[in-house]
Amino acid sequence: MEFNVKTLEGKDAGKVSLSDAIFGLDPREDILARMVRYQLAKKQQGTHQSLTRGEVSRTGAKMYKQKGTGRARHHSARAPQFRGGAKAHGPVSRSHAFDLPKKVRALALRHALSAKLKSEDLIIIEDLVSVEAKTKALVGTFASLGLTNALVIGGAELDSNFKLAAQNIPNIDVLPVQGINVYDILRRGKLVLSKAAVEALEERFK
């Protein structure tokens, strides 16, 4: 399919051909949801941990004699039922990540790209290059394009001035094409691709 290409100034810069296998799918929410869960689980730190009986700093001596006190038979004050003792079955450090087939991950990315095109939230820019690293100037440029909440994907190498100018703008994320992912695409309103990014995606899924 043919898609209009714009410059950063909002002028027409011709058309680009988009592959139906990447941008023309009927988006499936279940695949996108699986991918988002996969990414968030992999991102989760999993460093939460409570002290076990072997880690609590308390004496290991028997609290009182076994018989004759009329009370329950206890041994260590590190037991979970005592204040200052360990926690029974508490959280331990672990990875929350789980496996998702590579083909499903690739399919999810294509569905996310197709979803943005279908909802008319896709913009293709000829070249993401800024003359100077000025945030104020780039904010005005984005405003003219109607970009207040967007993910911007450049080529394999980002223009340094553009990257520096964009990094302080709220709700604007800038990534090279190798960093494109489903979660970041869906969490932002608009998806902005450079022509170089489109070519790289076409090559990747060829």
pLDDT at residue 164 in the model: 93
Rounded to 5 degrees, what angle do the CA atoms 61, 66, 67 make?
150
Sheet (strand 190-194) strand order: 12-17, 2-6, 122-125, 190-194, 150-153, 172-175
Q: Are residues 119 and 194 in the same domain?
A: yes
Mean pLDDT of the chain: 93
Q: Are residues 67 and 137 in the same domain?
A: no
Q: Are residues 171 and 128 in the same domain?
A: yes
Q: Are residues 40 and 65 in the same domain?
A: no
Query: Is the model's pLDDT at 131 over the cut of 90?
Result: no
Domain with 59 in it: 50-90
* Cα–Cα distance measured from residue 88 to residue 71, given in angstroms and rounded to the nearest whole number: 22
pLDDT at residue 30 in the model: 96
Banded pLDDT at 202 (limits 50, 70, 90): very high
Cβ atoms of residues 190 and 121 within 8 Å = yes
Query: Would you list the DSSP string of 76-120?
Result: -TTSTTSTTS--TT------------HHHHHHHHHHHHHHHHHTT
Q: Are residues 198 and 137 in the same domain?
A: yes
Q: Are residues 62 and 114 in the same domain?
A: no
Last residue of a domain, one of 28, 59, 90: 90
Q: CA-CA distances (angstroms) from residue 203 to 55, 113, 127, 138, 177? A: 54, 15, 18, 30, 12
pLDDT at residue 91 in the model: 93
pLDDT at residue 1 in the model: 84
pLDDT at residue 14 in the model: 87
Q: Are residues 115 and 185 in the same domain?
A: yes
Banded pLDDT at 68 (limits 50, 70, 90): very high
**Percent over 70 (pLDDT), the chain:** 100
Average pLDDT over residues 141-166: 91
pLDDT at residue 144 in the model: 87
Cβ atoms of residues 195 and 126 within 8 Å = yes
Among 4-18, 33-47, 149-163, where is mean pLDDT lowest? Answer: 4-18
Rounded to 5 degrees, what angle do the CA atoms 201, 128, 21 make?
20
Q: Are residues 10 and 64 in the same domain?
A: no
Rounded to 5 degrees, what angle do the CA atoms 128, 153, 136 make?
50
Candidates 128, 126, 115; CA nearest to 30 is 115
Query: Would you list the DSSP string of 3-45?
Result: EEEE-TTS-EEEEEE--HHHHSS---HHHHHHHHHHHHHHH--
pLDDT digits (tens, 9 = 90+) for 20-64: 999 999 999 999 999 999 999 999 999 999 999 999 999 889 999
pLDDT at residue 80 in the model: 94
Q: Are residues 54 and 79 in the same domain?
A: yes
Rounded-to-5 percentages of helix, strand, coil across the chain = 35, 15, 50
Structure-block tokens of residue 188:
């932002």
Q: What is the CATH number of the domain that holds 116?
A: 3.40.1370.10
Query: Is the model's pLDDT at 187 over the cut of 90?
Result: yes
Q: Count of domains in the chain? A: 2
Query: Is the model's pLDDT at 8 over the cut of 90?
Result: no
Residue 46 region by backbone torsions, left for phi larger than 0, else alpha for psi between -120 and 50, else beta: left
Q: Are residues 61 and 86 in the same domain?
A: yes
Q: Are residues 54 and 136 in the same domain?
A: no
Q: Are residues 132 and 191 in the same domain?
A: yes
Query: Is the model's pLDDT at 12 over the cut of 90?
Result: no
pLDDT at residue 11 in the model: 85
* Cα–Cα distance measured from residue 179 to residue 195, given in angstroms and rounded to the nearest whole number: 16
**Percent over 90 (pLDDT), the chain:** 78
Query: Is the model's pLDDT at 65 over the cut of 90?
Result: yes
